[in-house]
């Protein structure tokens, strides 16, 4: 039986029960969960193993890579600059990044980038991991890229390019990389551990990911090469067609490099990939989100008007990259059947494998779940869903 550590305020005991059940019933290996309400921490739990090979225990300060949950932190940085009057959602990206206007991108707005409507979910060249870590090669390629669809006409998940597009705008406007801006202007003032570009001294605290396959290997695709897609149930045909083709836009959007990235490597942790390589504690992510909807120890990051704009639906329905339905505000995922949060005012982001962090202004709650065992789920991970349901029942 896994030893669950931490604290739970009176009234939230069933959240601890759900967290423990993830280990007992849902295959959890190492994880942490935190919840703030009205700026006060009410749940802070951790347990399990941070590294299976060595048996290293998950500690109170264990850090975890959270994949696309990173996008929420990048969105917060973008909205803080807009709140300060330094960015305009309606302005062309090229206003801040002149090189970006090449090849029909003169009128792509910041709103379209935040809403996954820019038509730039991938880039034509493949990159080495080192080139992605270096920043300039991918940013220069995006500036030269022709959109894959007419910007604004549909939405499709910019799985990796989202972070580079917004990160370069943040750099042009603030003079800081997105990781530096996050540390200086967001997480530093509020005292939250969430890093994009992990300092070397913190590497020993990082949990080891137990990875899932983010796409099919060539061997796996060979097993399915003769399949008649029309023989599949209708609801799976489009997804199968997209993800069985190694050259499809869906597959290319999810993986920009050759060879694929090693998410447990020091190089990956040290780089700034603002759509995918955030590393945090659950407490840090929840505290950061809590400061977007209210004060945390006297500090608030975003105001009510900014949150209202950021959490208004921009894109909803069939996603040109993911194929299934998605629901986005400005940079944030919004609650949906695919990624259920607490209710219609919730905004945040999930990450590949199961992590999830969000805020819900209606209840004053900020929620964060991180884990090292990645699950392959099209819809909400059963572990985060159980925690969400337990929080909802506790309010």
What pLDDT is stored for residue 219 in this prediction? 47
pLDDT at 233 over 70: no
Question: How confident is the model over 378-389, as pLDDT tens digits?
Answer: 668 999 999 999
Per DSSP, the residues of 73-130 read HHHHHHHHHHHTTS--TTSBHHHH-GGGGTTTTTT-BHHHHHTT-SS-SS-SS-B-HH
pLDDT at 231 over 60: no
Select from 326, 113, 290, 284 the least CA-distant residue to 198.
Answer: 284
Among 197-206, 236-245, 257-266, the minimum mean pLDDT is found in: 236-245
What pLDDT is stored for residue 224 in this prediction? 46
What pLDDT is stored for residue 246 in this prediction? 77
pLDDT at 234 over 90: no
Judge if the upstream peptide bond of residue 259 is cis by omega within 30 degrees of 0: yes
Take residue 27 and report the two structure tokens written for it: 């295959």
What pLDDT is stored for residue 220 in this prediction? 45
Question: How confident is the model over 19-43, as pLDDT tens digits?
Answer: 999 999 999 999 999 999 999 999 9
d(CA 217, CA 213): 8
Among 204-213, 296-305, 311-320, the minimum mean pLDDT is found in: 204-213
What pLDDT is stored for residue 78 in this prediction? 98
**Which class for 145: exposed (0-12), middle (13-18), buried (19 or more C-beta within 10 A)?**
buried
From the list 54, 68, 336, 379, the catalytic residue is 68
pLDDT at 237 over 60: no
The predicted model gives 309-327 an average pLDDT of: 95
Cα pseudo-dihedral 242, 245, 249, 250, rounded to 10: 50
pLDDT at 371 over 90: yes
What pLDDT is stored for residue 214 in this prediction? 47
Is 148 in a helix, a strand, or coil? coil
The predicted model gives 221-247 an average pLDDT of: 58
Take residue 8 and report the two structure tokens written for it: 């739970």
Question: What is the CA 264 to chain-centroid distance, rounded?
Answer: 17
The predicted model gives 202-210 an average pLDDT of: 98
What pLDDT is stored for residue 223 in this prediction? 42
Question: How confident is the model over 79-118, as pLDDT tens digits?
Answer: 999 999 999 999 999 999 999 999 999 999 999 999 999 9
Q: Is 68 a catalytic residue?
A: yes
Angle value at C-alpha 380, between 307 and 309, nearest 5 degrees: 10
């Amino acid at each position: 039986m896994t030893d669950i550590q931490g604290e739970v305020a009176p009234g939230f005991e069933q959240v601890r029960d759900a967290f423990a059940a993830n280990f007992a019933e849902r295959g959890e290996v190492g994880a942490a969960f935190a919840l703030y309400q009205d700026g006060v921490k009410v749940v802070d739990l951790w347990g399990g193993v941070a590294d299976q090979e060595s048996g290293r225990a998950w500690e109170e300060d264990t850090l975890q890579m959270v994949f696309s949950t990173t996008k929420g932190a990048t969105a917060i940085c973008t909205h803080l600059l807009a709140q300060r009057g330094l960015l305009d959602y309606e302005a062309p990206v090229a206003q801040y990044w002149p090189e970006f206007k090449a090849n029909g991108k003169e009128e792509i707005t910041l709103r379209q980038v935040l809403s996954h409507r820019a038509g730039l979910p991938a880039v034509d060249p493949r990159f080495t991991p080192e080139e992605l870590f270096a920043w300039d090669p991918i940013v220069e390629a995006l500036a030269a890229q022709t959109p894959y669809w007419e910007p604004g006409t549909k939405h499709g998940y910019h799985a990796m390019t989202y972070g580079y597009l917004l990160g370069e705008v943040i750099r042009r406007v603030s003079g800081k990389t997105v990781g530096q801006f996050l540390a200086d202007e967001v997480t530093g003032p509020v005292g939250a551990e969430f890093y994009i570009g992990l300092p070397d001294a913190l590497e020993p605290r990082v949990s080891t990911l137990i990875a899932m396959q983010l796409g099919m290997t060539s061997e796996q695709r060979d097993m399915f090469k003769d399949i008649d897609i029309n023989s599949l149930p209708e609801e799976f045909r489009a997804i199968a067609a997209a993800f069985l083709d190694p050259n499809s836009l869906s597959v290319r959007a999810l993986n920009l490099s050759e060879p694929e990235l090693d998410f447990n490597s020091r190089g990956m942790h040290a780089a700034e990939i603002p759509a995918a390589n955030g590393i945090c504690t659950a407490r840090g992510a929840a505290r950061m989100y809590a400061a977007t909807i209210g004060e945390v120890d006297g500090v608030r990051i975003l105001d009510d008007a900014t949150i209202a704009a950021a959490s208004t639906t921009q894109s909803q329905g069939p996603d040109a990259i993911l194929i299934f339905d998605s629901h986005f505000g400005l940079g944030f995922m919004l609650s949906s059947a695919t990624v259920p949060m607490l209710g219609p005012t919730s905004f945040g982001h999930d990450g590949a494998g199961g992590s999830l962090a969000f805020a819900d202004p209606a209840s004053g709650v900020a929620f964060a779940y991180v884990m090292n065992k990645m699950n392959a789920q099209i819809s909400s991970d059963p572990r985060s869903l159980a925690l969400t349901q337990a929080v909802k029942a506790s309010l």
